[in-house]
Structure 1
Amino acid sequence: MSIFSEHLSHLSEQLRHDPSVLALLLAGEEGSYSGAAGTELNVIIVVSDEEFEARLQDGRLHYKMTDPAVEDTQITGRYISPRYLQKVARAGSEPARFAFMGAVIVFSDLPELRSLINEITEYPLHLKQANINRFYAQFEAWYLECKRALVQQEHYVLHQSIMNLLLFGGRLILAHNEMLYPGQKLLVHMLEHAQRKPEQLLSAMQSLMVTPSEMCLERLYRQVRDYRNWVNEELNWTDYVIMDNEMQWLRQSVSVGDI
Structure 2
Amino acid sequence: MEQHERAVAAYIDTVRAQPGTRAVIVVGSVARGTERADSDVDVYLVVDDERFAAETAQDRFAWVDRRGLDYPGSYIDVKLVSPGYLATAAARADDPTRASFLGARVAWSTLPGLEEAIARIVELPEDGWVDRVRSYVAQARLYGGYFLPQAVAAGDEFLRRHAGVHCALAAARAALAANRVMLPGPKYLAALVRTVPAPDGFLAAWDRLVAAPDTETGRAVLGILDDWLGVGLTPDEALSRFIRDNELAWLRGTVPAEFW
Q: Which TM-score tier does this pair reach, normalised by the shorter chain?
A: 0.7 to 0.9
Aligned residues of 1:138 and 1:241 also touching (Cα < 8 A): yes
Letter in 2 for 1:188: A
Distance 2:116 2:163 in 1: 40
Distance 1:30 1:125 in 2: 29
TM-score in terms of structure 1 length: 0.87
Distance 2:30 2:241 in 1: 33
1:160 corresponds, among 148, 159, 162, to 162
Pairing 1:1-259 to 2, within 5 Å after superposition: 1-29=1-29, 34=36, 38-67=38-67, 69-70=69-70, 72=72, 73-143=74-144, 144-194=146-196, 196-233=197-234, 236-259=237-260
Compute the displacement of 1:172 (Å): 1.1
Secondary structure of the corresponding residue to residue 127 of structure 2: helix
Compute the displacement of 1:157 (Å): 1.0
Compute the displacement of 1:16 (Å): 1.9
Letter in 1 for 2:18: D
Q: In structure 1, list runs of 5 or more residues that go unmatched.
A: none
Compute the displacement of 1:152 (Å): 2.6
Distance 2:81 2:160 in 1: 38
Give the 3 Å change call, closer, same or farther, for CA 68–218 of structure 1 in structure 2: same
Aligned residues of 1:132 and 1:175 also touching (Cα < 8 A): yes
Secondary structure of the corresponding residue to residue 213 of structure 2: coil
Distance 1:123 1:30 in 2: 24
Give per-residue Cα distances to partners, 1:115-149, cap 9 Å, x unaligned. 11111101221223322222221111001211222
Bigger CA drift: 67-76 or 16-25?
A: 67-76
Aligned residues of 1:123 and 1:179 also touching (Cα < 8 A): no
Aligned residues of 1:133 and 1:230 also touching (Cα < 8 A): no
Bigger CA drift: 24-33 or 218-227?
A: 24-33
Distance 2:30 2:154 in 1: 40
Secondary structure of the corresponding residue to residue 148 of structure 2: helix
**Aligned residues: percent identity?**
23
Q: CA RMSD in A?
A: 2.4
Q: In structure 2, list runs of 5 or more residues that go unmatched.
A: none
Compute the displacement of 1:33 (Å): 5.5
Give per-residue Cα distances to partners, 1:84-119, cap 9 Å, x unaligned. 101111232333212211112211111211111111
Distance 1:65 1:71 in 2: 14
Letter in 2 for 1:164: H
Letter in 1 for 2:46: V
Compute the displacement of 1:2 (Å): 4.2
Distance 1:29 1:87 in 2: 24
Aligned residues of 2:64 and 2:78 also touching (Cα < 8 A): yes
Give the 3 Å change call, closer, same or farther, for CA 95–248 of structure 1 in structure 2: same
Compute the displacement of 1:64 (Å): 0.8
Distance 1:70 1:231 in 2: 58
Aligned residues of 2:152 and 2:214 also touching (Cα < 8 A): yes
Letter in 2 for 1:136: V
Distance 1:231 1:43 in 2: 43
Distance 2:246 2:52 in 1: 32
Paired residues, what number? 256
Compute the displacement of 1:83 (Å): 0.9
Distance 1:90 1:65 in 2: 30
Aligned residues of 2:164 and 2:214 also touching (Cα < 8 A): no
Secondary structure of the corresponding residue to residue 70 of structure 1: coil
Letter in 2 for 1:189: A
